[in-house]
Amino acid sequence: MMKQNLWIVAVFFFVNVSAQKFDNLAQTPPMGWNSWNKFNCDVSEVLIMEMADAIVSSGMKDAGYEYVVIDDCWQVGRDKNGEIIVDKDRFPKGMKYLADYIHSKGLKFGIYSCAGIYTCQGRPGGRGHEFQDARTYASWGVDYLKYDWCYATGKDVKTAPSSKEHAIYSYSTMRDALYAAGRPVVFSICDWGFQQPWEWAGDVGHLWRTYHDIKDRWASLLIIFDKQKGLEKYAGPGHWNDPDMLEVGNGGMTIEEYKTHFSLWCMLAAPLMTGNDIREMTPEIKDILTNKEIIALNQDTLGKQGFCYRDNGNYEIWIKKLGNNERAVCLLNRSDEIKNVQVDFKVLLTVNSTYWKLEPYKLEDYKVRDLWEHKELSMKESTIYVEIPPHSVKVFRYNKK
């Protein structure tokens, strides 16, 4: 017991005294592509290079996507000095070459490791090698690190309690290692929300997962989405809630559902890490992922996460505060039937959340725009009737006149 108390005191001392992450990174939610959702362990140099090419040629880069991240399975062991060994069959030219290639396209390079002794796929993890790995990543030119939570607790941990304190310690160690290595790196915490990272990770990482892994299914989307309610006060520039990467374009949902997925993630100020095969994107999927008006909600520099203003079961109204005293409204139809709803834009303009207050705005000072139709509403009346297809959304933005 005594030993455990000392451990906790040591952890908090460490966290408070040497708290240091790279500032001024991820001032808006990071945007990019990650290999996991589509390719799992089937990653290679050729795949990543082709994806970087496709991000540029498809217009994704112009829409704001920047980080190209290799998830699990690029690593196969450690040498006698403890240096991480890259899979030479899949990455014959090595990570420095790949990073240089990605940088030459005007993109940024991301990699994955784990706070445990193994990664989730059983590859070598970072535990005990944090400073060494961080130096290696810096020498390769890594700009983004996703850090997982497998094999980090339980039987593999002899000395640490499997608790929030242990998570704070593990992630703070890697944060300090990255900082000591000197190359600015966006630090993505992936403990699946198990240790409530929103409560402590603001000084540790730039984003943190809030729940279990997403699956390419409508039901999974809703479960994850519901877990974000109430977390809005923890997000802001440089520190974001991460409901997990996008499944848009992976085939398990309809186009309407993918539109909803993308709109909700934008309303949540969530990181926009795509997870589809950009090389083979259909025009419909590309239109979703590159809808600049919807992306602008996500990338708004005020950095406010949207909140649920009305929850009528199958019908919800979400509001996101934007810069310049503007705001976005998202109407969500979760049901299997078409919904006809009446929307009073005058009322929605004066709604306040529990954590931010707005001036009493006047509807006459705004134009209201439909961000999927790319059209302004005529607004002869403040109330309009809207038809929302099943599993779909309507997204509006109040723009100052």
Out of 83, 87, 213, 370, the residue judged to bind ligand GLA by CB under 6 A: 213
Report 170-199 residues binding ligand GLA (CB under 6 A). Answer: 190, 192
Q: How far is Cα of residue 321 from the mean position of the Cα atoms in its chain?
A: 19
Q: Does residue 247 interact with ligand GLA by CB under 6 A? A: no
- Shortest reach from residue 44's CB to ligand GLA, in Å: 16
List 148, 191, 242, 244, catalytic entry: 148
- Shortest reach from residue 188's CB to ligand GLA, in Å: 10
Report 79-138 residues binding ligand GLA (CB under 6 A). Answer: 112, 119-121
- Shortest reach from residue 127's CB to ligand GLA, in Å: 16
- Shortest reach from residue 223's CB to ligand GLA, in Å: 15
Helix (H) / strand (E) element for 315: namely: strand 315-322
> Which of the 8 DSSP states describes residue 82?
-
Q: Does residue 52 interact with ligand GLA by CB under 6 A? A: no
Q: What does the alpha-carbon distance between residue 123 and residue 380 come to, in Å, rounded to a whole number?
A: 61
- Shortest reach from residue 148's CB to ligand GLA, in Å: 5
Token duo for residue 395: 């997204």
> Which of the 8 DSSP states describes residue 380?
S
Helix residue ranges per DSSP H, 319-359: 345-348
Per-residue mark of binding to ligand GLA, 60-79 (x: CB under 6 A): -----------xx-------
Q: What does the alpha-carbon distance between residue 153 and residue 151 come to, in Å, rounded to a whole number?
A: 6
Q: Does residue 220 interact with ligand GLA by CB under 6 A? A: no
Helix residue ranges per DSSP H, 58-104: 60-63, 94-104
* 256: alpha, beta or left? (left if phi > 0; alpha if psi -120 to 50): alpha
Is residue 213 annotated as part of the catalytic site, yes or no? yes
> Which of the 8 DSSP states describes residue 378?
-
Is residue 23 annotated as part of the catalytic site, yes or no? no
Q: Does residue 152 interact with ligand GLA by CB under 6 A? A: no
Q: How far is Cα of residue 6 from the mean position of the Cα atoms in its chain?
A: 35
Q: What is the set of active-site residues?
A: 148, 213
The site for ligand GLA (CB under 6 A) is made up of 36, 71-72, 112, 119-121, 148, 190, 192, 213
